Chain A
Amino acid sequence: MNEWVDIAISTLLRVGVILSVTVIALGLVIAFVHHPEYISSPASLAELTAARGHYPNTIAGVVDDVRHFRGQAIVMAGLLLLIATPIARVALSIAVFIVEHDHLYTAITAAVLLILLIGFAIGLEGG
């Protein structure tokens, strides 16, 4: 396999990771700045690690809260970027194999992406 294939995939992963960790860290800092009591008061921890309530669980909700500059929503946006990174890796691999005229691996990787998306759809339905 040509070296540029490795470099392309490796670079995508690196960019995805650096981008998401930056956004996550930024969101965390903002959460602490907005809520100085998080640094000193043990009482707020129970609320933050409770199973329901204080954070969005839809993409629209995340976008909405990021607009209001809410730290936890910015963290969530970073987490979503992190989750998207491996899926983007599979998609990029297809493009790379097409450019390489590697029909066998184009087909294999496209099948993987298809199965992933079907799984995602089933999961959302079941969840």
Chain B
Amino acid sequence: MTPLLFVLTVGGISLIAGFLGSLLGLGGGLIVVPALTLLLHVDIRLAIGASIVSVIATSSGAAAAYVRDRLANIRVAMFLELGTTLGAITGAYLAGILHARFLFILFGLILGYSAIAMIRGRKRGDEEVVPGPWARVLRLRSSYFDDAVGEEIVYQPVRARIGLGLMYIAGTVSGLLGIGSGALKVPAMDLAMELPIKVSTATSNFMIGVTAAASAGVYFSRGQIDPFIAAPVAIGVLGGAFIGSQTLGRIGSRSVRIVFVVVLVVVALQMLIKGITA
């Protein structure tokens, strides 16, 4: 393969990764890392460096549109970032103390459970959850215009403290395992805080860039960010994220939920396999 063909191939794969990642609130490392290592035989360390770039590109590329369209809830994001950033530091400390193998299996199981819970959906109408003092003081209530149904959707996030706690765990996991934690962030916002699914993925998308940027410095100074690999990743992902951010508003919430759950199951299986074979 010539370098030109390599750049075009990586760019094409990254376009898909950026598109899916921006719709689902994930970083795209899920696609970029296996594609680079298995298909193109790139060193795993450089593939991880490229995936960090992919997370940041997905996040910033799509968030510009999500913030403007108010699909991303900035207050929810800022508040929850307290948890993810603190968690990331905790994870960095715990790395080396805990066995990665055990963690992969544990989080594979948690993600599998989240997938089942998300497909069953929330029990609506049983009892109205009244927002606690935190959700009220933080003024998390918001609304967005849903293009798919053609109306303004008003929503009231609940259980802000539980959400914050779950984000701390999500941040710790990404610090420990070096994975983007969108797969944990979206279920936490969906199941615990009861945000609409599109708001959950868009807000997760908004948040993941900050977490990734915090660790990007390390990857850069370790020489894990290879410009020849990261350039087509960044360009492709940005293109895909741009297309995705124009698409999310228009597709049905149910479709977003189903695709997310399918991807969640794939990630859960990947983690279980890693944990068992590592």
Contacts and interface: CB of A to CB of B under 8 A. Distances in A.
B118 interface: no
A83 interface: yes
A123 B217 CA distance: 7
Given A75-B228, A112-B78, 16 more contacts: A14-B64, A27-B231, A28-B7, A28-B232, A32-B3, A41-B2, A44-B3, A49-B42, A57-B222, A57-B223, A73-B227, A75-B231, A86-B60, A105-B75, A108-B79, A119-B88
Given A51-B223, A127-B222, A86 B56 contact: yes
Interface string B194-230: 0000000000000001101111111111110111111
B263 interface: no
A38 B3 contact: yes
A72 B210 CA distance: 25
Contacts of A6: 67-68, 70, 74
A65 B81 CA distance: 36
Contact of B61 (A17, A38, A104): A17
B30 interface: no
A27 B232 CA distance: 11
Interface majority SS (helix, strand, loop, mixed), chain B: helix
A73 B226 CA distance: 10
B4 interface: yes
A122 B221 CA distance: 13
Interface majority SS (helix, strand, loop, mixed), chain A: helix
A126 B92 CA distance: 9
A67 B45 CA distance: 28
B6 interface: yes
A10 B57 CA distance: 14
Interface in A27-75: 27-28, 31-32, 38-42, 44-45, 48-52, 54-55, 57-58, 72-73, 75
A82 B49 CA distance: 14
25 contacts: A13-B64, A38-B2, A39-B2, A41-B2, A49-B226, A49-B228, A55-B223, A57-B220, A73-B227, A75-B227, A82-B60, A83-B213, A83-B220, A85-B209, A89-B209, A89-B210, A93-B74, A105-B78, A112-B81, A112-B210, A115-B85, A116-B85, A120-B214, A123-B214, A123-B215
Contact of A48 (B215, B228, B238): B228
A79 B53 contact: yes
B63 interface: yes
A4 B235 CA distance: 29
Interface residues of A, number: 67
A28 B216 CA distance: 21
Contacts of B235: 21, 24-25, 28
A33 to B, nearest CB: 12
Nearest to B223: A57
A115 B203 CA distance: 20
A112 B216 contact: no
Interface of A: 1, 5-7, 9-11, 13-14, 16-17, 20-21, 24-25, 27-28, 31-32, 38-42, 44-45, 48-52, 54-55, 57-58, 72-73, 75-76, 78-80, 82-87, 89-90, 93, 104-105, 108-109, 111-112, 115-116, 118-120, 122-124, 126-127
Nearest to B52: A83
A108 B137 CA distance: 13
B209 A86 contact: yes
B258 interface: no
